Each structure stands twice: as C-alpha cells, then as structure tokens.
Amino acid sequence: MTGTGEPPAGADRTPSGAGAGPGADGAVPLLETRGCGKTFGGVIALRDVSTRVRAGEVTCVLGDNGAGKSTLIKILAGVHPPDSGEYLVDGAPAAFTSPRDALDRGIATVYQDLAMIPLMSVWRNFFLGSEPSRGWGPFRRFDVAEARRTVRRELRSMGIDIRDVDQPVGTLSGGERQSVAIARAVYFGARVLILDEPTSALGVKQAGVVLRYIAQARDRGLGVVFITHNPHHAYPVGDRFLLLNRGGSMGEYGKAEVTRQELISLMAGGAELEQLAHELSREEPPVKP
Amino acid sequence: MTVKTAGPGADERLASTGLARRLLIRPELGAVVGAVVVFAFFAGQSETFRSVDGVANWLDPASTLGIMAVAIALLMIGGEFDLSAGVLTGTTGLITVILATRYGFSIWTAMLVALAVALLVGFLNGLIVVRTTLPSFIVTLGTFLMLQGINLGVTKALTGTVQVSGLRRAEGYEQARAVLAGTFSLGGADFRVAILWWLGVTALATWVLMRTRPGNWIFAVGGDDRAARAVGVPAERTKIALFMTTAGAAWLVGSILALRFTSVQANAGLGQEFVYIIAAVIGGCLLTGGYGSAIGAAVGALIFGMADKGIVFLGWDADWFRFFLGAMLLLATLANRLVRRYAEEVRH
Ligand SMILES: Nc1ncnc2c1ncn2[C@@H]1O[C@H](COP(=O)(O)OP(=O)(O)O)[C@@H](O)[C@H]1O
Ligand SMILES: [Mg+2]
C-alpha cells in the first residue's frame, strides 16, 4: 500500500507494543494478539496482527470490506484458533475450542451476521444459552417470570427503551437490536465486549444510540473491541485505533496520536483518496456553474 | 468524550406494532379460528357430528394423528423434518407384534424392544443430519425408504403375507390394551384412551417448549442455528433429541394402533408423514423453522379429525377430504408466510 508509508504522528506503529510484558499503564491487557494470522484455504484473511485490549478502553478495528476485521474478532471470540502467532488472555496463552470457552472467560461477542434470533422474543433472546432455571431434576424449568423481570430491569438501567420484552427481536430496529445484545453481554458479566460492525447497517440517529451504549459499557470498566469501517463512528468513542488492510495491520494509534481527519485519510489509504479527490475535482467545473 | 447522538432511543412506531405483534406471539391462533369454523360447518349440518357419540368418533382419528403432529411440530420448530415418522409407526407396531406372537416375548418386553429400535432410528436420523448438515428432508427420505423396504421385506419373509396378526394371544395383552388402546365412558359415549395420551403429549410438549431451557433451544436452533451455537446452545444435542422425540411418538402411536387392531399391515403409516407435517403447518409451524406451537399442531390434528369424520357424516364422497386438506394447507401456509415476513423485516 502506498498510503501507509507516512502515517501521521510519526511512524510509531505500536507505541506500547514493543515489549512483551505489561502495557505502559502497568496492567496486563485483557486480550493480546501477537503476530496472529489466519488463512482459509488459499485466502490469507489475516496476517501478522498484534494488538491489545485493555479494561475501560475502546479499541477500534478499522478497515474496508474484506480487510480481515471479522476474522480477527472471530479469533478473539474463540470461533477460529489463529493459524500463526499467539493469542493471550490475561497474559496467558488462550486455547479456546469454542465460543463458549471464550464466553466463560468473560469475552462476549455481538456478531455482525448472527446477533440474535428474529422470531424469538427479546427476553428469550436475552437469556439464550444461559437461561435462569429453578426446580430440580425433571421439573427444572426456565424461570420465565424472572427472565422477563431481569430483562426489563437491565434494559432500563442501560437507558434502553424497549416497549415490550415479549416482542420478537425481528420487530426491533437495528439499533435496538444491537443495544439489547450489548445489554445482554454486560449483564452476563462480560469483561470484554466485541462488537462486529454494530453501526454499519444503521442510520445516523440509531448509530448514535449504539455508540452511546458502547461508551456506557466502557464506563462500566469493560474492554470494548469495536469493529467498523466508518471512522466517523470510531473516532468519538475510540481510545485506540487498529487499522487493517487486506489482512495486514497498517498500524495502531492512540487517540492522542491521530486526528479524525488523519484517521479518515489513513482508512482510505491517503494517497488513493487524494488521487480520487483530484480526479473528481476535474470533473466538477462543468457541473457546477 | 462526546458521543454524537440524537437523544435516547426514540420510539416512533408505537402504534404500528401493537396488534400485529400480539397476533404474532400466538402461532396457534389461525388453527383455533379454523377449528371453530370447521366445527360450526359440520355441526350445523349434522346432528350426529355434534352428539357426544359423534365427538368421541371424530376425536379418535384426531388423537393418534395429534400425538404425531405435536412431535413433528417440535421438530419443525427446531428447523427439521422427519419423513420417516409415518413408516416408523408401522415398524414399531410390526416389531411388537412379531416379537410377541412369534418369539414368545410378553407385550411389554416386545414394546420395549420396539421403543429401543425407534429411538435408535431417531438418533441416527439426527446424527446424520447434524453431522453432514444435509437437509433432513433428504436424510429422512432415505430412512423412510429403507424402513419401508424392511417393513415389507421382513413381514413377507416371516409370514408370507403383508401383515402380522394375533396380538390378542400375547402375554399382557389385556393390560397393555387398557392402558394404550382402551376406552373410557364420558357423557354416555365411549372415548378412546388415546385421546388422553394426545392431551398429555400436547401438555408436556407445550410445557417443554414454553417453560424449559431445551424449549428455548428448540426455537433457537430452528430460528438461526449458527446464532444459537454462537451463544452456547447445544444445537446438535437439541436436534438429535428432537428426532428421538419424534421416533418415540411414532412408537407410542404404533403401539396404540397395534394393540387396537391386534394386527399390523406391512405398509402401515405409509403416507402419514405428510399428514403430520400438514397438521403442524395448519397449527402455525413455519416450514422454515423457529416458529410454531404444540397446541397449534394438536388443533391442526383436531381439524383433520373433524373433517375426516364430518365428511362421512354428511354422506359426501371421501375424495372431498383431500380437497379440503389441500385448501387448509394453502391457507395456513399463506398466513404463516405473512407472519414470517412481518417478523423478519429489518427495521432501521
Ligand atoms: N470462513 C471463511 N472461509 C473462507 N474465506 C473466508 C472466511 N472468512 C473470511 N474469509 C475471507 O477472508 C477475508 C477477510 O474477511 P473478513 O474478516 O470477513 O473481512 P471484514 O470483516 O473486514 O469485511 C475475505 O477475503 C473473506 O472472503
Ligand atoms: Mg465483517
């Protein structure tokens, strides 16, 4: 990539990533990848990506379609093991065999393509896979009343305004759906919340609502991994920005090291965008007057 | 840090979702309306139909069909089909009769063996479906044909005819018949005990579906298998258990019918597999899975029973029954499609 040669704020790719030990703030990061890669058949979906996720921080993963964002978070979430490199949780190598393993370590993921089940009610979705039960033996049952109550309370405490927890999730708006998924992860004691393009299908207003819940989760001390291809969504909530392009890392920047404008041009591959602007501007004069 | 947002999640669609949503959470609504209409139609024209004897008469075919339809409904909500279920009622009946009449087994042991075989068939159906991810339609079509072949082949080899009979002489017959195929008096008419089994199965299935964790998983694996797995639902176990449940129901119905008639035809249950599915669909099950109700399927079976006998009571040609089935199925499928469209429409 030609545009990556001169990143703003110096060539400091991973300012705190040189050493293998704890980060600059002294705490062991919740999650860390070291040179992780993944291939599918002949396709290199991800190569040599290193990043860290810390409590109370939002790590944004930015990149165009096919950049490998979903592949990276599927590694973090225990869907795929990395083919190369290391994946550490709380500083120790993780050997997840399923998303359940990751979930049990407090790593909750809201997937882009498989977040919730549209035909099921909000409360059924909320507790899916972790239903509260009462009674014993063959009489053990899903505590439906408790589930409804809890969902209502949790949504309200996050300021999520859902009319009726009995309505099918499919009748919620995209933003509401993401919000419920976030509330669910927070409720189940997630320490890390991974969100795959939660705002990409949303309008401006709905995206704003989701960003607000991301900030809420962060303020509750969760480490958030926020995947997006929209720098305008990433910049307001992000603390760190990991840029991916065609499976490779284009660097990771702290908020202090990059401006919104720089992020946008980095995303678009700087020179390419300038080239594009140049091309487009030549066509403008005949149209404008 | 500022978040650019336009106020809290404003709610501008309050009015539009109310009624439709309430109907949505009641999948059996259509079947109940249909049952009332069908009852009114036949009861209005036939004295016999609305008499207590008439009721006992049309509840009978509804009961055995209903047990199967409820099990198939659970399976369909879980996103799968079982075309082998009809023939399996024949297989289990044949096993019971053959073991009890030719190999000296008591009725109960013979039934136990038949149950074990049925559960094994269900387990294999489920295992093949979840491991290969082939459509269950194809997998169980294979089992269906194989069972059909076995039923005929074994029966012919053993008896030289296409039926096995003589169950009446088997040890424990009277007892077993009383439990599964007897009658009880109510309001001056004799009702089949199978009706109670039907009600029991429906109640149990409804409880499992609505009030237990596996019930939640059934909806989930049928609604979106991958999403369910991603949150830790044991999807494979759930589906295999559903196939085994269907097989267990086939055993129950096979036993009921074998005890009632004391003989089993080698082609018993053939063609019923689609009737079960139709009853489940009339009861509100989506062909695509993830939605439906056990009560709805039971009511679907009730509609069948009423139409089956009602047409006879009216002195019509039985061919009209087929026409009626087709019409009901079309109506139900159209109604169900609207439901799915509504629920899955993405709103921004
Ligand atoms: N399961 C898979 N099998 C084969 N190729 C895959 C698979 N998942 C992702 N890929 C490929 O890996 C690349 C990165 O995909 P992905 O991580 O989904 O990108 P993004 O989420 O950034 O749009 C794409 O070329 C995609 O086609
Ligand atoms: Mg993606």
ipTM of the prediction: 0.84
B-chain CB neighbours of A129 within 8 Å are 217, 220, 228, 231-233
Of B229, B286, B344, the CB nearest to A170: B344
Interval A10-17 mean pLDDT: 37
Of B5, B230, B291, the CB nearest to A211: B5
- Residue A163 has a pLDDT of 74
Q: What are phi and psi of B269, to 5 degrees?
A: 85, -10
Best CA proximity match to B306, nearest among B292, B323, B324 = B324
Which atom of ligand 1 lies at the shortest distance from residue A247's CA? 14
- Residue A208 has a pLDDT of 87
Of A79, A142, A208, the CB nearest to B213: A142
| Closest-CA residue of chain B to A179 | B9
Report the half-sphere exposure of B151 (CA within 13 A, side-chain side): 28
Query: Which of A98, A120, A239 is the best residue to mutate to test the B interface, defined by the most B CB atoms within 10 Å of its own CB?
Result: A120
**Under a CB-based contact definition with an 8 Å cutoff, are residues A130 and A143 in contact?**
no
**Under a CB-based contact definition with an 8 Å cutoff, are residues A109 and B230 in contact?**
yes
Q: Is some CB atom of chain B closer than 8 A to the CB atom of A236?
A: yes
B-chain CB neighbours of A209 within 8 Å are 5, 8-9
Q: How far is CA B232 from the centre of its chain?
A: 28
Q: Each residue of A27-47: pLDDT tens digit?
A: 789 999 999 999 998 899 999
Percentage of chain A surpassing pLDDT 90? Answer: 34
Q: Which two tokens stand for residue B110?
A: 């013979």
The CATH number assigned to the domain holding A243 equals: 3.40.50.300
Nearest chain B CA: its distance from A253 CA (Å): 17
Q: Using the beta-carbon criterion (under 8 Å), do A129 and B233 form an inter-chain contact?
A: yes
Q: B321: alpha, beta or left, given left = phi > 0 and alpha = psi -120 to 50?
A: alpha
Between the alpha carbon of residue B72 and those of residues B204, B287, B300, the distances in Å are 14, 11, 12
Which helix (H) or strand (E) segment is A45 a member of? strand A43-53
Residue A219 counted as domain residue: yes
Name the band, by pLDDT with cuts 50, 70 and 90, for residue A271.
Answer: low
Compare A80 and B67 and report the one with higher pLDDT: B67
Residues 6+ apart with CB under 8 A from B267: B90, B148, B151, B152, B162
Domains contained in chain A, number? 1
pTM score: 0.80
Q: Please report where in the chains the tokens 């069909």 appear, as a residue.
A: B65
Q: Is the pLDDT confidence value at A272 over 60? A: yes
Interval A199-206 mean pLDDT: 80
How far is residue B136's CA from residue B122's CA, in Å, rounded to a whole number? 12
3-state helix, strand, coil in chain A (%, to 5): 35, 25, 40
CATH class of B29-161+173-347: mainly alpha
Query: Considering only CA atoms, which residue is closest to atom 11 of ligand 1?
Result: A45
Residues of chain B with pLDDT under 70: 1-25, 339-340, 342-348
How far is residue B248's CA from residue B36's CA, in Å, rounded to a whole number? 31
Query: Which ligand is closest in space to the CA of residue A245?
Result: 1
Q: Using the beta-carbon criterion (under 8 Å), do B233 and A175 form an inter-chain contact?
A: no
Q: Which two tokens stand for residue B339?
A: 């439901």
Interval A105-119 mean pLDDT: 81
* Portion 108-127 of A in contact with B at CB < 8 A: 109, 111, 114-121, 124, 127
> Residues lining ligand 1, CB < 6 A?
A 40, 43, 45, 63, 65-71
Name the band, by pLDDT with cuts 50, 70 and 90, for residue A243.
Answer: very high
* Portion 277-296 of B in contact with A at CB < 8 A: 286, 290-291
Query: Considering only CA atoms, which residue is closest to atom 13 of ligand 1?
Result: A45
Nearest chain A CA: its distance from B213 CA (Å): 5
The whole domain housing A272 covers 27-117+190-282
Q: How far is CA A215 from the centre of its chain?
A: 12
Residue A86 counted as domain residue: yes
State the amino acid at position A90 in one-letter form. Answer: D
- Residue A241 has a pLDDT of 94
Ligand 2 center to B272 CA (angstroms) = 45
**Under a CB-based contact definition with an 8 Å cutoff, are residues B233 and B219 in contact?**
no
State the amino acid at position B214 in one-letter form. Answer: P
- Residue A9 has a pLDDT of 38
Name the band, by pLDDT with cuts 50, 70 and 90, for residue A111.
Answer: confident
- Residue B347 has a pLDDT of 45
**Secondary structure of A123-146 in the HEC alphabet?**
HHHHCCCCCCEECCHHHCEECHHH
**SS3 at position B106:** coil
- Residue A130 has a pLDDT of 86
Ligand 2 center to A68 CA (angstroms) = 7
- Residue A25 has a pLDDT of 53
**Under a CB-based contact definition with an 8 Å cutoff, are residues B3 and A236 in contact?**
yes
Q: Using the beta-carbon criterion (under 8 Å), do B9 and A129 form an inter-chain contact?
A: no
Best CA proximity match to B94, nearest among B140, B143, B153 = B153
Of A120, A160, A237, the CB nearest to B220: A120
DSSP string, B151-209: HHHHHHHHHSSSEEE-GGGSTTHHHHHHHHT-EEEETTEEEETHHHHHHHHHHHHHHHH
How deeply is A288 buried, as exposed, middle or buried, from its count of CB atoms within 10 A (0-12, 13-18, 19+)? exposed
- Residue B53 has a pLDDT of 94
Would you say the C-alpha torsion B268, B270, B275, B276 has a positive or negative sign?
A: positive
Query: Which ligand is closest in space to the CA of residue A114?
Result: 2
Q: A160: alpha, beta or left, given left = phi > 0 and alpha = psi -120 to 50?
A: beta
Compare A64 and B198 and report the one with higher pLDDT: B198
